[in-house]
Structure 1
Amino acid sequence: MGAQDLIASTCKATPNVRLCVSTLRSNPKSAHADVGGLAILMVDATKAMATQTLQQIKTLKGSTPQLRKAIDACTFAYKMILEVDIPEAYKALPSNPNAHHCANGLKLFNSPATGLNQVVHDLSAVATSIIRMLL
């Protein structure tokens, strides 16, 4: 089975086929990866997006005092994603409730972090699906 076929068949078993396919095909390492390799690439993508989202959240802290409580909760949630969930993901990727928790805190505000937060959540769900294929 070719790399493109493996990506397509793997991604069909995930909750967001389009995100899965675009994320994996954008990474040149996917051309030579098996399903386990694809899972690692998806966790790597989740980590990169979570890092970017945390940076965006931190920039909001000084500029939006009325969001301080929500921003503090999101900062904590994303630190958990990066310090606990991502390392665990390389072992067997548990479901990732932290991005969802952050979204609840910011949903009432028009925040640039909201879109990034959704991508982290979606990437986590895709990575979880791929990891489960290996178990």
Structure 2
Amino acid sequence: MSSSNRDLLRILVSLREPDEPKNACHIHISCDATASKNKSLNRQSFFFLQFIKMNLSRVTILFLAILFQETLFLAMGDREFIENTCKGTPSYNLCLSILLANPKSQDANLTGLALIVVDAVKNEGVKTLQQIHALKKSLPELTATLMQCGDVYNTIMHVNVPLTINALNLGNPKFGEDGMADTTIESQTCERSFKEHGQTSPLTNMNKDMEDVANVARAIIRMLL
């Protein structure tokens, strides 16, 4: 082939239209139909997913409503049980405040409620012993009497409370009642010791609180006899 012919061929090749992409549509009507079909499928999928979501939402709401209703009924039953129990104690409001403040009361039986109040007795003992320790420093003239009260509350903490807890756990409420009865006597002993020494008690309120809580615990334990 002559050089002039080669040049002519090269020019013709350069002027040729570029190839269409492999995936290009040769028939525009077919492309439009395919796009329309895809759009229809996407719309159907969208409505189907919306339908599923709506029905799942209804099922979820129904389930939560049933669960809430059952929880409410159980809570009402527990509350009624607690209220009826506290009505049998010398201090209804105190009993109710102690039990409702403890989440364990929600599914506790009578022994469980008694143990909760005994634990409140223990807490009162801890607070009173801390106060006795502080008063020895701020009121040194009362040290001797405060030491007597310290012995009294140590007896409550290390003898009466453990005795009562063990008795309840072992199913022997009579010994538990005795432990709480002695606790009320001990708190009265502490209060009386100040009067015997001609002193004004700085522990009157705490001794009364201990006596009241112990009496509530004792009353609940008596229900187990």
**How does the TM-score come out when normalised to structure 1?**
0.92
Of 109, 120, 125 in structure 1, the residue corresponding to residue 200 of structure 2 is: 109
* Distance (Å, rounded) in 2 between the aligned partners of 1:8 and 1:124: 18
Of 115, 122, 125 in structure 1, the residue corresponding to residue 212 of structure 2 is: 122
**CA shift for structure 1 position 93:** 3.2
Divergent runs of 4+, >6 A: none
Greater CA drift, 56-65 or 98-107: 98-107
* Distance (Å, rounded) in 1 between the aligned partners of 2:106 and 2:194: 37
In the alignment, structure 1 residue 70 sits paired with structure 2 residue 145? yes
2:223 alignment partner, SS class: helix
* Distance (Å, rounded) in 1 between the aligned partners of 2:187 and 2:142: 17
**Structure 2, unpaired ranges of 5+:** 1-75, 168-175
**CA shift for structure 1 position 28:** 1.1
1:24 alignment partner, SS class: helix
The CA RMSD over aligned residues, in Å, is 1.5
% of aligned pairs identical? 39
Q: Is the 8 A contact 2:191 2:201 kept in 1?
A: no
- Structure number with higher relative contact order (C-alpha < 8 Å, ≥ 6 residues apart): 1
Q: Is the 8 A contact 1:81 1:98 kept in 2?
A: yes
1:14 alignment partner, SS class: coil
**CA shift for structure 1 position 105:** 2.4
For 2:109, the equivalent position in structure 1 comes to: 34
2:85 alignment partner, SS class: helix
Map 1:13-32 → 2, pairs under 5 A: 13-32=88-107
Rg (Cα) greater in structure = 2
**How does the TM-score come out when normalised to structure 2?**
0.57
Cα deviation 1:78-130 (Å, max 9, x = unaligned)? 0000011101111123202111111222464252x321221111110100110
Of 87, 98, 104 in structure 1, the residue corresponding to residue 186 of structure 2 is: 98
**Structure 1, unpaired ranges of 5+:** none
